[in-house]
């Protein structure tokens, strides 16, 4: 029997009353596994109204109590870690190990939210003038919203609502309709953690739900992760309606390979970073830039990629699973065909790959191109599939120029044994997240996720200190007290009164 996906509105889990239906399918065979009744406009508006009402009391909840909710929540997430990973793997097609990583990276942000008291500390200066002190507080905005993609249905929602709520806001989450079961379980566990009614709302739906969130006057901030075109739309629409927006969009991540690098480490890391999760990561390495003699490693890289076998989520030998949808597969196949048409050499072609017994699934095998130039479509566009483009460069300077010419700036890496080369690269590269002998440099949550250029629209980034600033306002107070107001008499207790 097909699972009915529930919304979480005003403290109640409900299948909703909408008549627009979305079928959730298993990417391995495209058979139905769940059904969503899209939230009606009235249900989305009801979620916002409930969140607004809850904010009036939640903002007054002491920060230590909010932190205790997060402590209980991160404990529940760890307790249900493998259960969450199983749900996630079944609906996304990710391998179980990859799904566990998705869940764990989200748990790390929930852990970080437990430190919210320290993160919310303001500043103070005594005697800015005679007997006048100035100090600042950080206070919550109100109702915030998050719009999340299919590729990380645990991690990215957990980037957003734990920190926003710990800061004293309430939150409306609109996850991807392609894999809604993981976010639903996150909401169920959040309720078990003792969150106050209305603090978190979960609505499932399509563009109409998104547009309400982007334009409603009671939504103060929007956090979005997704594709370039939608990211631009979210940023423009949200800011046109005077909201704070952080919109994480497309990427085209390069890894620069110097000839002095550790070859074994390079090849192993390139395989995992390029085709892991079927390439459906915004931080995937999709372009390998081989400098000088490092190009001689390309044939061996092809051999290692050819050994990667896609498979089912519970197949311990599978390197990765299917793409999320037939549409995603069709897009990847069309870009592979375009690469061949435009003159790139396809050393390894996964276009015809199928898995026995699951031929109707969204499978694409590892694919590798050489002789790729910046004018080619496969170089310019984010493929979001298990496809690696190899480029050759004469020098580190040329490689830096190539990477900096990209309109995206999400992540990059360099593999080298030279501290001087690494220092030059990290200083000159125009990309927000840089790995040195690290293929996918996603920072831990006490830092922030800092994409640049066309990979991000907004001012403050996700998680870390920047997210706390994004979800709060700063209030600055200048105070003077007169000495004749000093009271007399002792307080004989240790309690704060």
User: Which residue of the set 144, 167, 282, 389 is catalytic?
Assistant: 282
Tokens coding 399: 């490689």
Pairing of the two strands 12-14 and 7-9: antiparallel
User: For the residues of 91-143, what is the DSSP string, one character each?
Assistant: HH---HHHHHHHHHHHHHHHHHHTTHHHHT---EEEEEETTEEEEEEEEE-SE
| 13, 279, 387, 468 from 94: Cα distances, Å | 27, 11, 17, 31
C-alpha span between 285 and 271 (Å, rounded): 9
Q: Do the beta carbons of residue 194 and residue 222 sit within 8 Å?
A: no
C-alpha span between 227 and 249 (Å, rounded): 5
Alpha carbon of residue 60 to chain centroid: 29
Q: Do the beta carbons of residue 284 and residue 273 sit within 8 Å?
A: yes
Alpha carbon of residue 93 to chain centroid: 18
Q: Do the beta carbons of residue 361 and residue 259 sit within 8 Å?
A: no
Q: Residue 282 catalytic? A: yes
b/e for 194-232, b at 16 or more Cβ within 10 A?
ebbebbbbbbbbeeebbebbbebeebbbbbbbbebebbe
* Residue in the structure block whose two tokens are 């005679």: 130
C-alpha span between 262 and 417 (Å, rounded): 7
Pairing of the two strands 244-248 and 456-457: antiparallel
Three-state DSSP state, 491: coil
Burial of residue 489, with CB atoms counted within 10 A of its CB: 0-12 exposed, 13-18 middle, 19 or more buried: exposed
Task: Identify the CA nearest to 58 among candidates 216, 222, 200, 218.
Answer: 200
Task: Identify the CA nearest to 234 among candidates 121, 148, 354, 334.
Answer: 148
Task: Identify the CA nearest to 66 among candidates 10, 114, 109, 8.
Answer: 114
Task: Identify the CA nearest to 98 among candidates 272, 232, 260, 242.
Answer: 272
DSSP-based helix, strand, coil % in the chain, nearest 5: 40, 25, 40
**Residues acting as catalytic residues:** 282
């Amino acid at each position: 029997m097909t699972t009915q996906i529930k919304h979480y509105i005003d403290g109640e889990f409900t299948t909703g009353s909408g008549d627009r239906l979305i079928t959730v399918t298993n990417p391995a065979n495209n058979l139905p596994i769940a059904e969503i009744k899209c939230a009606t406009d009235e249900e989305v508006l009801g979620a916002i109204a409930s969140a607004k009402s809850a904010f009036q009391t939640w903002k007054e909840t002491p920060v230590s109590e909010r932190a205790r909710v997060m402590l209980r929540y991160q404990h529940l997430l760890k307790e249900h870690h493998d259960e969450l990973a199983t749900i996630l793997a079944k609906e996304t097609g990710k391998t179980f190990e990859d799904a566990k990583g998705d869940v764990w990276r989200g748990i790390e942000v929930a852990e970080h939210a437990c430190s919210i008291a320290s993160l919310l500390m303001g500043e103070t200066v005594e005697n800015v003038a005679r007997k006048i002190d100035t100090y600042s507080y950080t206070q919550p905005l109100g109702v915030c919203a998050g719009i999340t993609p299919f590729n990380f249905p645990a991690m990215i929602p957990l980037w957003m609502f734990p920190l926003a709520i710990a800061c004293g806001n309430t939150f409306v989450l609109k996850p991807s309709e392609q894999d809604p079961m993981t976010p639903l379980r996150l909401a169920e566990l959040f309720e078990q953690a003792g969150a106050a009614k209305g603090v978190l709302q979960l609505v499932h739906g399509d563009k109409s739900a998104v547009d309400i969130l982007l334009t409603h006057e009671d939504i103060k901030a929007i956090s979005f992760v997704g594709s370039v075109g939608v990211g631009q739309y979210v940023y423009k629409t949200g800011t046109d309606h005077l909201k704070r927006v952080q919109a994480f969009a497309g990427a085209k991540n390069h890894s620069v390979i110097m000839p002095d690098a550790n070859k074994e480490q390079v090849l192993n890391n390139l395989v995992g970073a390029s085709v892991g999760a079927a390439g459906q990561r915004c931080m995937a390495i999709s372009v390998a830039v081989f400098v000088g003699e490092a190009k001689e490693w390309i044939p061996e890289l092809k051999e290692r990629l050819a050994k990667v076998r896609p498979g089912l989520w519970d197949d311990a030998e599978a390197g990765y699973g299917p793409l999320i949808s037939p549409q995603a597969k069709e897009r990847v196949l069309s870009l592979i065909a375009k690469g061949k048409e435009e003159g790139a050499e396809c050393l390894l072609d996964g276009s015809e790959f199928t898995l026995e017994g699951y031929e109707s699934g969204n499978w694409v095998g590892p694919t590798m191109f050489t002789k790729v130039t910046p004018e080619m479509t496969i170089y310019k566009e984010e493929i979001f599939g298990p496809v690696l483009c190899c480029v050759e460069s004469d020098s580190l300077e040329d490689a830096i120029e190539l990477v900096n010419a990209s309109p995206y700036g999400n992540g990059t890496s360099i593999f080298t044994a030279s501290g001087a080369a690494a220092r030059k690269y990290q200083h000159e590269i125009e990309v927000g997240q840089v790995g040195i002998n690290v293929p996918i440099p996603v920072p831990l949550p006490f830092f922030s996720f800092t994409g640049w250029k066309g990979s991000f629209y907004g001012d403050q980034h996700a998680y870390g200190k920047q997210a706390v600033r994004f979800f709060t306002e700063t209030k600055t107070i200048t105070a003077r007290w007169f000495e004749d107001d000093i009271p007399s008499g002792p307080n004989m207790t240790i309690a704060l009164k």
